[in-house]
A and B are shown apart, each in its own frame.
Chain A
Amino acid sequence: MRPDDRKYLDSHEWAKLEGDLIVVGITDFAVEELSNGNEGDLVYCDLPEVGREIDQGETFGEIESVKAVSDLNAPVGGEIVEVNSDMMEHLETLAEDPWKKGWLIKIKPTDPSMDHLLGAEAYEQQITADH
């Protein structure tokens, strides 16, 4: 079971409310799909500039492995107030700790509601159904 202190997108991003910000990352499942368990196969991560306004569902970045590129999608709309820029040079962190150290961006949401996102159980069911 994935952490139930946060919500999920079916495109494998997670969103966690911390104070008045929403922290966004990707799940261990996404990392596994991209790298097949070999963090050396992750080659690139493109994250946005601080200050950018994004809409819910909009692509805010890209992550690339030896074999594929994936879009990173915003779980909520708002302003990007912080970016984990260390990540771009240390993609292995994503494999080591996708839930905490591997966070990607922090959004100051226009609407902090995350009711449209999946709970941990629903996300779990979805990835089981897909594979």
Chain B
Amino acid sequence: MTDADLKQTDLHEVHVSSGAKMVPFGGWSMPVQYASILDEARRVREHVGLFDLGHMGRIEVTGPDATRFLDSVVTSFVGKIPIGAIRYGLVCAEDGGPLDDLLLYRSSDEDVFVVANASNCATVLAWLNDHVGAHDVTITDRSAELAMLALQGPKSQDALQPLVEGKDLGEVGYYKFTFATVCGIPNVRISRTGYTGEDGFELYFPCAESVRVWNALIEAGAEHGLAPIGLGARDTLRLEAGMPLYGHEIDREHNPVEAGLNFGISFKEEKGDWIGRAALAAVKESPKRKLVGITTEGKRVPREGYLLFDGDREVGHICSGAVSPTLNTNIGSAYLPVELAVAGQTIDMDIRGKRQQCVVCDLPFYSRTRK
């Protein structure tokens, strides 16, 4: 794919003129950083950062069978999501291998809003359409018409509140959503969600308003230390918070049970059968490997694909790695055989022919509530 084939969000010119370095990501040209990746990550932990997430897939599932249908194709119990709440789930194939991971916003039994990864949105849409069967639902791709911005960091509410009319954001709980007027735009979907491990919000509104809302947030947030943040720091932050990224921690060969995502999987009878249930139930009975964190005090940064050794035996590889400004060490994620996936276990990482010792730890590396 050449740069000319990459899709651009409505904020592309804004990013470029802010000095962002643009990179291909999931078929899109997206900002990887505006300044130092480490400084951007610190800013989100200490103040607030603004992210353009216009590349994400946004899908509306509506109709009398919306909830029942989704319960037959996703891992979480959609019918049990309280109205106005959000849950994490995955779409898996029969063998339990995930096609993507999702956020599911339940407005009613007949209206669920689904957020998918940019790179998998077309796959998810096709999969949903292929499995509709007799369900009475309408599946609509809203990705091209909706902007998506995230504000992340302890000052998120302070930065956003002045632009919101008639709604106290303090009333929007974690993993809950509401609709309100933002910058004069009615019915903006506002959720208290994110992918950084910090408090924050995600906003959905018509694309045409992207630049105006972005600039208003930059201006209103200035006194709270707000700055735009690229995908580089976003990757560091989500890894510190132990959140999986499709294509790294999870993919068709790496199931959500071994990835530690059981909170997003329901085996309850009332949910009924769903695609991948039997395969994942079997994995749950006897998992062979487990996703863990590794830390290393060496200067070298764990990178995707670096092999891990227990003595001479190859036991796994790095899924994601980063310099962690929050922990002040280098971190990575990896699948290890269950007998080695124990906090405190030491293993060797092969860095381009040299060995560096690493220590296994439980995920997440960082939790804002459990310090």
Taking Cβ atoms with an 8 Å cutoff, the residues of A that contact B are 36, 38, 40-41, 43-44, 62, 64, 66-67, 69
CB-defined contacts of A41 to chain B, threshold 8 Å: 36-38
A37 to chain B, nearest CB (A): 8
Contact A62 B352 (CB under 8 A): yes
Determine the main DSSP class of A at the interface with B: mixed
CB-defined contacts of B352 to chain A, threshold 8 Å: 62, 69
Further 6 A-B residue pairs, CB within 8 A, beyond A38-B36, A43-B301, A69-B352: A41-B38, A44-B300, A66-B322, A66-B323, A67-B232, A69-B303
Taking Cβ atoms with an 8 Å cutoff, the residues of B that contact A are 21, 32-33, 35-39, 232, 299-301, 303, 322-323, 352
- For the complex, give the distance between the alpha carbons of A66 and B303 in Å: 10
A24 to chain B, nearest CB (A): 20
B318 to chain A, nearest CB (A): 13
- For the complex, give the distance between the alpha carbons of A64 and B301 in Å: 8
B228 to chain A, nearest CB (A): 14
CB-defined contacts of B33 to chain A, threshold 8 Å: 36
Interface pairs (18), CB distance under 8 Å: A36-B33, A36-B36, A38-B37, A38-B39, A40-B36, A40-B38, A41-B37, A43-B323, A62-B352, A64-B299, A64-B300, A64-B301, A66-B232, A66-B301, A66-B323, A67-B37, A67-B232, A69-B301
CB-defined contacts of B299 to chain A, threshold 8 Å: 43-44, 64
- For the complex, give the distance between the alpha carbons of A67 and B234 in Å: 13
- For the complex, give the distance between the alpha carbons of A2 and B39 in Å: 30
A46 to chain B, nearest CB (A): 8
- For the complex, give the distance between the alpha carbons of A64 and B21 in Å: 18
B184 to chain A, nearest CB (A): 36
CB-defined contacts of A64 to chain B, threshold 8 Å: 299-301
A11 to chain B, nearest CB (A): 16
Closest to B235 in A: A67
B355 to chain A, nearest CB (A): 14
A65 to chain B, nearest CB (A): 9
A103 to chain B, nearest CB (A): 21
B132 to chain A, nearest CB (A): 41
CB-defined contacts of B322 to chain A, threshold 8 Å: 66
CB-defined contacts of B39 to chain A, threshold 8 Å: 38, 40
Closest to B33 in A: A36
Closest to A40 in B: B36
Which 6 A-B residue pairings sit nearest by Cβ, starting from the closest? A38-B36, A44-B299, A66-B37, A66-B323, A36-B21, A41-B36
- For the complex, give the distance between the alpha carbons of A69 and B37 in Å: 15
CB-defined contacts of B300 to chain A, threshold 8 Å: 44, 64
A23 to chain B, nearest CB (A): 25
- For the complex, give the distance between the alpha carbons of A43 and B323 in Å: 9
A58 to chain B, nearest CB (A): 14
- For the complex, give the distance between the alpha carbons of A67 and B25 in Å: 15
Closest to B236 in A: A66
- For the complex, give the distance between the alpha carbons of A44 and B303 in Å: 14
CB-defined contacts of B232 to chain A, threshold 8 Å: 66-67
B238 to chain A, nearest CB (A): 15
Closest to B20 in A: A36
- For the complex, give the distance between the alpha carbons of A64 and B32 in Å: 17
A86 to chain B, nearest CB (A): 15
CB-defined contacts of A69 to chain B, threshold 8 Å: 301, 303, 352
Closest to B325 in A: A66
Closest to A38 in B: B36
B47 to chain A, nearest CB (A): 18
Closest to A68 in B: B303
- For the complex, give the distance between the alpha carbons of A36 and B32 in Å: 10
B295 to chain A, nearest CB (A): 15
- For the complex, give the distance between the alpha carbons of A41 and B32 in Å: 13
B332 to chain A, nearest CB (A): 14
* Most B Cβ at <10 Å: residue of A43, A62, A67: A67
Closest to A36 in B: B21
- For the complex, give the distance between the alpha carbons of A68 and B322 in Å: 10
A130 to chain B, nearest CB (A): 12
B153 to chain A, nearest CB (A): 20
CB-defined contacts of A44 to chain B, threshold 8 Å: 299-301
A71 to chain B, nearest CB (A): 9
- For the complex, give the distance between the alpha carbons of A129 and B45 in Å: 39
Closest to A35 in B: B36
- For the complex, give the distance between the alpha carbons of A59 and B37 in Å: 28
Contact A66 B21 (CB under 8 A): no
CB-defined contacts of B303 to chain A, threshold 8 Å: 69
CB-defined contacts of A43 to chain B, threshold 8 Å: 299, 301, 323
Among A38, A62, A67, contact of B35 (Cβ-Cβ < 8 Å): A38
